[in-house]
Each structure stands twice: as structure tokens, then as C-alpha cells.
A and B are shown apart, each in its own frame.
Chain A
Amino acid sequence: MLAVDKLHAWYGRSHVVQGISLEVKAGEIVTLMGRNGAGKTTTLRTVMGLVARRAGSVRFDGAEILSEPPHRRFRRGLGYVPEDRRIVPGLSVRENLRLGLLASPRLREEQRLIERIAGTFPRLKERIDQDGTSLSGGEQQMLAIARAMMSEPKMILLDEPSEGIMPVLVDEMFALFRKMKESGTTILLVEQNVERALAISDRAYIMDHGEIVFHDSAANLIANQEIQERYCSI
């Protein structure tokens, strides 16, 4: 589904992603882990087309997309939930959800799709006409995920979805990722919550100083305390 090969990315002159390769197969959940500042967010942003200076190859669903603008990548079925949620202030929950449908041919089915999303996210339904930024941090995260799921992308990139969220909601969220996988969505997940992430993942990559330093099945990594401590201890 997604094949990243020798990908580089720079912010100005600082070389943040230094030739990483990784793959996510259709239907998988793959976790990208690593310390703060390792380059995980930059990797996702580059895959989504938000970093101007980049080189290498990003293939999605069979096509090379490295130089495509973000909106084309979205239209190919690549969804993205950024690190800081980015609920648009001044817009209601409904309008935030609608944003996720604007570029989709299914805009006409909005009401039905919002109802369906409401089934998965009852909290959002209760607050559908409130300003999106009036929700709690966890609810905003749910809204950001729901918004990205409105158009039913083939694959979704999630950047630290559990960060700063109440434990009850974290449970709910990881259960949701499992459900998303069951319904066929491919997921590339960046998480600091290593234990929880590995529990639902098929495979994992560990990133450090802009490079992939380790890669294994989730099951093996769960057992490998040494690697976890070396690269992921916070």
C-alpha cells in the first residue's frame, strides 16, 4: 500500500529525515516509534506532501507520489491526522466533519455519513453543533480522526493520537484503531505509548536521528526489552 524508499527531508538546511525506507502492506497496522526529535512527524508530513525539500521515493497504491501536492494524495485515499489535532476554531463539530468530505465525491451523502460517524463516536454526536475547539482534548482527537475518516481513506497516517489524553479515552481510541483495521483501513501509527501501540500492530519501525535503526514484527519487539529501552524510553 505504502512503500517509502530512501526518503530524505530537510527543514531549511537541517537534514531531518536521512534516507529512510519503510513499507506498510494493505490491511496492516505499522507503528513508527522513537524518541522526541527523531524525525517521525517529519516523516509523516513528507509522506503527506507537506515538506517542501525532500528526495527519494514514496509509492502509494502503486503510484509514485513524492512530488504530488497533499490534496492529490488525499484524493488517492491517503488520510492524515496531524500531531496537534488541528480542529479549526470557529467551526462547529459538524462543519469540521464536513471539511473531511469537501473533496470527496460523497459530499451529497453527508447526513448519512455523519450519522454513521456518530455511531462510532457518540460523544461527537452529542456535541455536533458546538464549536469544535470547545471539546476536551480527547474529544478533539476523536474529531480529528473522524474528520479524516469521513471520506473512508484506504490508508491513514496518525501522529501521536494518544498524546495528552485521558486514559479512558486512550482505551477507546486503541479499540477504534483495531476496528478500523478490521474494516480494511491500513494504518501507519506514530506513538509514544509503545506498549499499547505494539499490542495492536503487525510490525514496527524504530527511528533515531533521522534514520530507521530497527525493524521487526510487533510480537518480537514486545519481547525485546533492550531495544525498547535503548530507543524509546522517554
Chain B
Amino acid sequence: MADVNLFLLQLFTGLALGSVYVLLATGLSLIFGMLTVVSFAHGAFFMVGAYIGVYQYGVTGNFWISLVVVPLVVGTVGLLTERFLVRPLYGRGIDYPLLLTFGLSYVLIEIVRIFFGVQGIPISTPEGLRGAVNIGVGHFPLYRLFLIVATAVVVGGLWLFIERTRFGLIIRAGARDPEIVRVLGIDISRVWLLVFGLGTAIAGLSGILAAPIRAVTPEMGIPVLVESFVVTVVGGMGSLAGAVVAGLLVGVVFSLTSLYAPAFAETSIFALMALVLLVRPQGLLGRAGLMG
């Protein structure tokens, strides 16, 4: 019985970890599905979000304000990035924006080092979200539970936005066929701008949400970027449902191997990716041939 409970608790830990991946991969997928841009700055935006959020928390002592401020600020950085750096590269092949965002991520890391130092900064678990709650199989950290709920709220909100609003319809149609959307009067470059900003805002939000369970350092986004790509590949590039399923799956696989075979935890998610690619090259929920 104790073993089962331990397993279930670890499963929940995996879901909490996976929640962060879900948010990151959702943003990546949204941006890729719409703009065919692979944003290598996604991990850096995650890190910038964590820093801005922790800084704001330190100043006001109110964590909740960070959850509003961070997506706004990081989203704005995203808008500027698309408008002035990525946009001039459209029509030149997928590697141009990829290299550009890769370079940008190092610029952002360096800027953060200049302002906040190379050491990283501490953050305490926000008040009201400390301690643990009994979830039936044992005590589970309240903050991790909050992380799962917050992710569900964001993903649910995003789903409603995409399925139910006018702009969401443009996103769904524009991801499949940008040209038809243009000849029906939509300024697609504005749509791309806003989608890049939205995806980036979600990356920033996931940064501050993850901050209390991770070390906040200038380099924190680098492994996260790699893991998020694993998630998008497992879920299927450009598929939002795939990002959700694969994010949780990767989190759970990582966390269960940490429990039973800790030496293989890091490798396990890559093994999962290799397995999925062998069986379904387009990812669990991806469309075949999206990358041409």
C-alpha cells in the first residue's frame, strides 16, 4: 500500500512538473503552428519571466501581481521581438528565425546577468501556497497542486479563446492556410505579431510559475528549452492538444524514473521521444508532413 501511495504521489509530482512543460510547449506550438517559426528564445523568455516575477514579488511582497505583470511585460518583449527581429526574416526559410532567436536567448541571458548577477536569486514559496495538503494518497505540496490548477486554467482559457472567439477562428484557419485568410481581408502579419506575443507571454508566465520549484538563474531556460522541444516533438509540432498530453507525459515519465531509476531520469525523456518518433514520426497528435 505504501508503495502504491508513493507511486501515486510521484505521479502527481510528475503532473506538476509536466504542467510547466505543457505551458512552454503550448506557446512553442502556437508560434510554430502559426508562423512556422521555431523559437529558440522560448527558454530565455521563460527565464526572463521568472526574474521579472521574482523581482516584482520582492518589491511588493505580493506574488499574485507577478502572475499579471510577467505575461504583460514578457509578452511585450515578444511583440517587439517579432516586429523588429523576426518579421524581416519571413520567407527566407526556417533556419533564419531559428538562428536569430538562438542568438537573442544569449543576449537576454547576458542582460539578466548584468542586472541580477550570475548567481541566481532566491524565491520563497508564496504565502498562502506553502505547506502540504492531504490528497488521499499522502501529503502533497500545496504549491505544486496550485501549479497544476493554474496550468489547467491557462490551457482552458486558451482553448476557449481559440475555439470560441473571432480571433481564435483566424488562428485556426491561418495555421492551416494563411493565404485564404489574407484574401478574406485579414492582415496576417498582425495575427502573427499577436500570436508570437501570446506564446511568449505564456512562456514568461510559466517562468514565474516554475520559479518557486526551480533555481532561478540566468541559465535556467537552457535545459527547459531542450525539454520543451522534446515535448513538442512527442506531442506533434503545432498541435496544442499534443502539447498538453505530451507535457504531462514527459513530466510523469521524468518523475517516475527519478523515483525508480534515478540514474536514467535525464535520459528517460529522450528515450520516450525516440520511441514516439519510431512509432509515430509526426508526434502523438501531430499532422503528418507539417514540416514539408
| Contact status A91-B172, CB under 8 Å | yes
How many residues of chain A have a CB within 8 Å of chain B?
Answer: 26
The B-contacting residues of A in range 156-191, CB under 8 angstroms, are none
Interface string of A99-126 (1 = CB under 8 A from B): 1101110010000000000000000000
Whether the pair B182, A102 counts as a contact (CB closer than 8 A) is no
Flag if B184 contacts A48 (CB, 8 Å).
Answer: no
Residue-wise, chain B 145-179 has the 8 Å CB interface mask toward A (1 for contact) of 00000000000000000000010011011001101
Q: What is the interface of chain A, defined by CB distance below 8 A to chain B?
A: 48, 50, 52, 69-71, 74-75, 80, 82, 86, 88-91, 95, 98-100, 102-104, 107, 147-148, 151
* Separation of A88 and B170 alpha carbons in the complex (Å): 11
| A102 neighbours in B (Cβ, 8 Å) | 166, 169-170, 184-186
B interface, CB within 8 angstroms of A: 91, 166, 169-170, 172-173, 176-177, 179-188
The interface centre, meaning the residue of B170, B181, B183, B188 with most chain A CB atoms within 10 A of its CB, is B183
| Residues A71 and B188 in contact, CB atoms below 8 Å apart | yes
Are A88 and B185 in touch, CB under 8 angstroms? Answer: no
Q: Quick check: A99 and B187 within 8 Å, CB to CB? A: no
- List, in ascending order, chain B residues with CB within 8 A of A80's CB: 183
Given contacts A90-B172, A98-B169, A107-B166, contact A82 B180 (CB under 8 A): yes
How distant is B100 from chain A, measured CB to nearest CB, in Å? 21
Quick one: which of B169, B177, B183 contacts A74, CB cutoff 8 A? B183
Compute how far the CA of A147 lies from the CA of B181 in the bound complex, rounded to whole angstroms: 11
For B169, the chain A residues whose CB sits under 8 A away are: 91, 95, 98-99, 102
- Verify B183–A70 contact, CB threshold 8 A: yes
Contact B185 A151 (CB under 8 A): yes
With contacts A88-B173, A91-B172 known, is A103 near B184, CB below 8 A? yes
- Shortest CB-to-CB span from B187 to chain A, Å, is 5
B91 / chain A contacts, CB cutoff of 8 Å: 52
Please indicate the chain B residues that have their CB under 8 angstroms from the CB of A71 in the complex: 182-188
A147 to B183, CA, bound (A): 11
Q: Is the CB of B184 within 8 A of A88?
A: no
Output the least CB separation between A141 and chain B (Å): 14
Which 6 pairs between the two chains have the least Cβ-Cβ distance?
Answer: A103-B185, A74-B185, A70-B182, A86-B180, A80-B183, A88-B173
CB pair B187 A86 closer than 8 Å:
no
Tell me if B176 and A88 are in contact (CB < 8 A): yes
- Alpha-carbon distance A136/B193, docked complex (angstroms): 36
Give Cα A90–Cα B183 distance, bound, in whole angstroms: 19
On chain A, the residues within 8 Å of B181 by CB distance are 99
- A150 to B169, alpha carbons, bound, how many Å? 16
Chain A residues near B186 (CB-CB < 8 A): 71, 102-103
Chain B residues in 8 Å Cβ range of A107: 166
Q: Which residue of the partner chain A has the closest CB to B190?
A: A71
A48 to chain B: which residues have CB within 8 Å? 183
Choice from B172, B182, B184 contacting A100 with Cβ under 8 Å: B184
From residue B164, how far is it (CB to closest CB) to chain A in Å? 11
Q: Are A88 and B166 in contact (CB under 8 A)?
A: no
Q: Which residues of B contact A103 (CB under 8 A)?
A: 184-186
Q: Which residues of A contact B170 (CB under 8 A)?
A: 99, 102
How many angstroms from the CA of A95 to the CA of B183 in the assembled complex?
16
Expressed in whole angstroms, the minimum distance between the Cβ of A154 and any Cβ of chain B is: 13
Return the chain A residue nearest B181 by Cβ. A99
Interchain nearest-CB distance for B287 vs A (Å): 9
Q: Report the minimum CB–CB distance from A81 to chain B (whole Å).
A: 9
Tell me whether A99 and B173 are in contact in the complex, defined as CB-CB below 8 angstroms, given that A71-B187, A71-B188, A107-B166 are known contacts: yes
Residue pair B177, A86 in contact (C-beta under 8 Å): yes
- In the assembled complex, the CB of B33 is this many whole angstroms from the nearest CB of chain A, namely 12
Other-chain contact of B179, A52, A86, A100 (Cβ < 8 Å)? A86
Can you add 13 more A-B contacts, CB < 8 Å, to A75-B185, A91-B172, A100-B184?
A: A50-B183, A71-B182, A82-B180, A86-B177, A88-B172, A88-B180, A91-B173, A95-B172, A99-B170, A99-B173, A102-B166, A102-B184, A151-B185
In the complex formed, the residue of B with least CB distance to A150 is B184
| Minimum CB–CB distance for B88 against chain A, Å | 15
Complex formed: what's the CA distance from A86 to B173 in Å? 11
